[in-house]
Chains A and B, each alone.
Chain A
Amino acid sequence: MVVPFDDYYSKLNTLIAAGETPDVFEISEYLAVEWGKKGVSMELSQPYEDRGVNLEDTYIAACLYGDEGNVYGITAGVTAILLFYNKDLFDAYDVPYPSSDPENPITWEEYVQTAQKLTRDSNGLCPLDEGFDTWDVTSYGTLTTTWTFSLTAFLYSANSGFFTSDGMGLDLGSDGAQKVLTEMSKLSTEYLCAPDSIISSSLPGNVQMFKDGMLAMAVEGSFMIGSYVTEGANFGIAPLPVFDTPATATWSAAYAISADTELADASLSLLEIIVGDTGSQYPSKIEDYEGENYDAWASALGLSESDQEWMKGYLNSSAAKVHEAVYVKNYSKILDEVISPEMSNLWAGDATPEQVASVTNEKSIGMFEGAYELLAN
């Protein structure tokens, strides 16, 4: 059964309460391990072993969600946060494309400079030119990365995160996090290469802005590649700009099997089928990164050959780190109730990074429960 996402957990919880947990079900990344530990989902390593399949030898570690060697969910592919760039605008202003080397992406400073060069007012002036009119911008160099899932990747790049790695506190007061929040805020307020929060809310979607020549760079999940291709945007992808170390965050919703299923073997077979359908997310299976398997998947995405090649290496580089949503316990509650409201104040210009760190630390006292030990960590 396919359920609208907004109704999904209401439906699933009702079924579980009625003793009718679906044999196989989709589950958000932040719940996958928790529900396994609670006994709703089946531990998968042993039944796969019984079928002659070693999960760690078969799937990339970033796709296996569990704790202390147990696995409770497998993802149908993995999303990584990438930098999308508009080739039409880069070509029009003769600006070189961002580096596609996962080990040497463009630096944050280069990203800002590039975004400034590609931000133009109706007179063709950019923020680096005298007379640039911030109220008459026709194309923006980039957007402020406000979505927490994407922002986490930048925090990783500054050796930080929303959370400490042990899940026992917030890290927004660290030097790295403060630098990221400060620099991100400056994109609209000081570097003038991104719209402020009010203007942003009135702009069309990123893909449409690419097509209309209104946006040069956007930070997006790799799951958006399909939309850019389908809509006919002339785009390329690159590793994220770097603060201190190359980094991206990976995650995806997972698929689990009911611990109460009476059809375990058949459920495992179905699970294998489901997680093989990765769409425009990175493949789940190790063998799908090799030879013809990878070529077939990458070609189907519609990317240029050069992007296909570096993209493969990105997920298999040291830059790729599992998103803290997957392994920090009580992630969703702390994010929704404490972090997100204060981040909104930051982007609206109603709070400084220091105030965000201070307020979130205060409000989150007593909410931390630690972190799971993922295979990938």
Chain B
Amino acid sequence: MKKLLSLLVTIAMLASITTVSLAEDLPELTYLRWDSDPYTEEE
């Protein structure tokens, strides 16, 4: 399966709330999210 995003990239995005040891332990995952808060836009 084609990977959308490596966990390392994900971890980099969430750098402030994760740990290095966790990044080393986890395999590659796919993770999809949207870019902004739709509620803020709607208001």
Residues of A within 8 A of B (CB): 1-5, 8, 11-12, 15, 19-20, 22-26, 28, 79, 147, 149, 205-206, 220-221, 223-224, 227, 255, 263, 266-267, 269-270, 273-274, 276-277
Contact = CB atoms under 8 A, between A and B. Distances in A.
Interface of B: 1-2, 4-5, 7, 10, 14, 16-18, 22, 25-27, 29-43
Contacts of A26: 32-34
Contacts, number: 90
A195 B33 CA distance: 36
A252 to B, nearest CB: 9
B4 A147 contact: no
A376 B27 CA distance: 34
Given A11-B32, A20-B1, A23-B31, A266 B7 contact: yes
8 contacts: A15-B4, A15-B32, A22-B30, A149-B39, A266-B26, A269-B26, A270-B29, A273-B22
B35 A4 contact: yes
A269 B31 contact: no
Nearest 9 CB-CB pairs, A to B? A26-B33, A22-B32, A22-B30, A1-B4, A5-B34, A25-B32, A8-B34, A23-B29, A266-B26
Contacts of B33: 1-3, 25-26, 255
Given A270-B10, A273-B14, A273-B22, A224 B43 contact: yes
Contacts of A15: 4, 32
A266 B29 contact: yes
A3 B34 contact: yes
Given A1-B31, A266-B29, 13 more contacts: A5-B35, A5-B36, A11-B32, A12-B32, A15-B32, A22-B32, A26-B32, A26-B33, A26-B34, A206-B43, A223-B39, A270-B26, A273-B22
B18 to A, nearest CB: 5
Contacts of B27: 263, 266
B22 A220 contact: no
Nearest to B18: A273
Contacts of A277: 14, 16-17
B1 A5 contact: no
A267 B1 CA distance: 16
Contacts of B38: 5, 28
B22 A269 contact: yes
A255 B10 CA distance: 14
A22 B1 CA distance: 10
Given A8-B34, A263-B27, A270-B26, A1 B40 contact: no
Contacts of A266: 7, 26-27, 29
Contacts of B41: 5
Contacts of A149: 39
A23 B30 contact: yes
Nearest to A269: B26
